Amino acid sequence: MNAKQLKESILQYAASGGLSISYRKHENENFNEELLEIPKGWKQLTMGDVLKVSSGKGLTQKNMIDTGLYPVYGGNGICGRHNDYNVEDNTVIIGRVGYYCGAVHITYEKSWVTDNALIVTYDKNLVTKEWLEIILTATNLKGTASATAQPVISGKKIYPLSLLIPPIKEQLFIYDRYKEFIDKVNLYGELESKRVQLYSNFPFRLEKSILQYAMQGKLVEQQETDEPASLLVEQIKVEKQRLVKEKVIKKEKSLPEITEDEIPFDIPNTWEWVRLGDIGFSNIGVTYKPTDLTDSSGIPILRSNNVQNGKIVLNDLVYINGKVREQQYAQKGDILICARNGSERLVGKSAIIETEGMAFGAFMAIFRSPFNKYIQEFIQSDLFRTQLTKARTTTINQITQKMLKEILIPLPPIKEQARIVREISRYRTLTQKLKQANI
């Protein structure tokens, strides 16, 4: 049972006399209510016997004063402030019109009640304002509203409704116990809300923590037989030099040396801090005009909406006629990255391409490396996202080629990369199940 349901149960229990059984036992030694429909000493009257209602006075939002001396009440409690008041004492009011009709509140002393609420006056010899708050809230006043687009309740509608009225002292006893229970339920509700929030965020936090552990070399054990990452970096360097010499790729500008200040944490001895540009190639996609669009006989173009939850989806491809350079075709195993988007949150989302023969749009980038399975996991981590935020020099939500190539990544040995990717996959299966279960 949630907090709302508990409050409703306590309210109905209070209104029917359940909270004051101990009081009546104390007052009557021969207490026995087993056969009584109405608690002993209580009266059953109509609302018209006990109270009268009148509309508050109109006050538009424009005429309210933010720094006003007195609170203004509408259909659902305080809605502003004003420098004048139209009720002197703590007053019972009922929402009169709209969504909140039937809502019950007790005002502060010296308040303004608008015409969105009904002001309740009552026979103080019969009832207290505290009991009215309970019994009116327990009664479905909204159920008496006129069946129009804008529901409205009135005295004529509510006066025939029956009320149970206990003795005055018992009313006050019930109210004190009711408030005591409601305070505890409110605390329970706060704790329940925090629990729900914690549990709903738990799978996402767990996933982030796993990725952080992975990037720090703490997710799997290091093995002495693994070839150190420094040799991988040297092999990539030699391979790049060969491709430049054979004019397969152009020689790129040297990347900045990595400084001690840039390194965010220690990594295992067999790992290396490198820049993405040291261990792979990157390129931006093809620019095309609306007139270049064609049917599925054209060249398929991957865009931001084709990257969903770390996967490539092909159900919303566009096709173009025109020239596409060789480097603007994606290869199987490339990482497709959203490099520019109106939403900052979407910049950096990525997925590994599983098929050949597609190009990619100008707001996208690809990254190509022998280590892409591990790099794809790195791109999902806070370490990648934090560096993007620091590198941004404009208000445009984008990843430039310079930014991407200069991103710092902790590189493990190739065999350890495989172990890390497998372990992340195993944990991700668990977090997906938690998300689906909404735990």
Per residue in 179-227, pLDDT tens? 999 899 888 888 888 777 766 777 778 888 999 999 999 999 999 999 9
Residue 119: other Cβ atoms inside 10 A: 20
With a cut of 70, say whether residue 438 has pLDDT above it: no
DSSP string for residues in 165-225: E--HHHHHHHHHHHHHHHHHHHHHHHHHHHHHHHHHHHHHHHHHHHHHHHHTT-SS---TT
Percent of residues, the chain, with pLDDT higher than 90: 61
> Right CATH number for 3-188 from 3.30.70.330, 3.90.220.20, 2.60.40.10, 3.40.190.10?
3.90.220.20
pLDDT in the model for residue 201 = 74
pLDDT in the model for residue 322 = 82
Q: Are strands 335-338 and 364-368 parallel, antiparallel or unpaired?
A: antiparallel
With a cut of 90, say whether residue 26 has pLDDT above it: no
- For the residues 46-58, what does the mean pLDDT come to? 93
CATH topology identical between 3-188 and 208-437: yes
- For the residues 404-424, what does the mean pLDDT come to? 96
- For the residues 404-411, what does the mean pLDDT come to? 96
Type of residue numbered 270:
T
Q: What is the 8-class DSSP label of residue 61?
A: G
pLDDT in the model for residue 35 = 53
- For the residues 384-413, what does the mean pLDDT come to? 89
pLDDT in the model for residue 430 = 84
- For the residues 285-300, what does the mean pLDDT come to? 91
Report which of residues 326 and 214 the model is more confident about. 214
HSE, CB side, 13 Å, CA atoms: give it for residue 170.
25
Decide if 351 contacts 335 (C-beta within 8 A).
yes
Type of residue numbered 28:
N
Percent of residues, the chain, with pLDDT higher than 70: 97
171 pLDDT band (50/70/90 cuts)?
A: very high
pLDDT in the model for residue 265 = 95
pLDDT in the model for residue 346 = 92
Report which of residues 333 and 296 the model is more confident about. 333
Sign for the CA dihedral angle at 205, 206, 207, 213 comes to positive
pLDDT in the model for residue 36 = 62
Residue 78: other Cβ atoms inside 10 A: 13
- Which CATH number does 208-437 carry? 3.90.220.20
As to burial, measured by CB atoms within 10 angstroms (0-12 exposed, 13-18 middle, 19+ buried), residue 165 is buried
339 pLDDT band (50/70/90 cuts)?
A: very high
Tokens of 434: 């938690």
Residue 360 makes CB contacts below 8 A (sequence gap 6+) with 285, 286, 301, 302, 303, 328, 330, 336, 366
Decide if 310 contacts 350 (C-beta within 8 A).
yes
- For the residues 167-175, what does the mean pLDDT come to? 93
d(CA 31, CA 144): 37
With a cut of 80, say whether residue 29 has pLDDT above it: no
Tokens of 275: 């820049």
- Write out pLDDT tens, residues 279-291: 999 999 999 988 8
Q: Domain ranges for the chain, please list them.
A: 3-188, 208-437
For residue 49, what are the CA distances in angstroms to 138, 175, 225? 18, 21, 91
pLDDT in the model for residue 432 = 81
- For the residues 71-97, what does the mean pLDDT come to? 93
As to burial, measured by CB atoms within 10 angstroms (0-12 exposed, 13-18 middle, 19+ buried), residue 372 is buried
d(CA 398, CA 8): 51
37 pLDDT band (50/70/90 cuts)?
A: confident
pLDDT in the model for residue 204 = 79
With a cut of 70, say whether residue 106 has pLDDT above it: yes
- For the residues 356-385, what does the mean pLDDT come to? 95
pLDDT in the model for residue 250 = 79
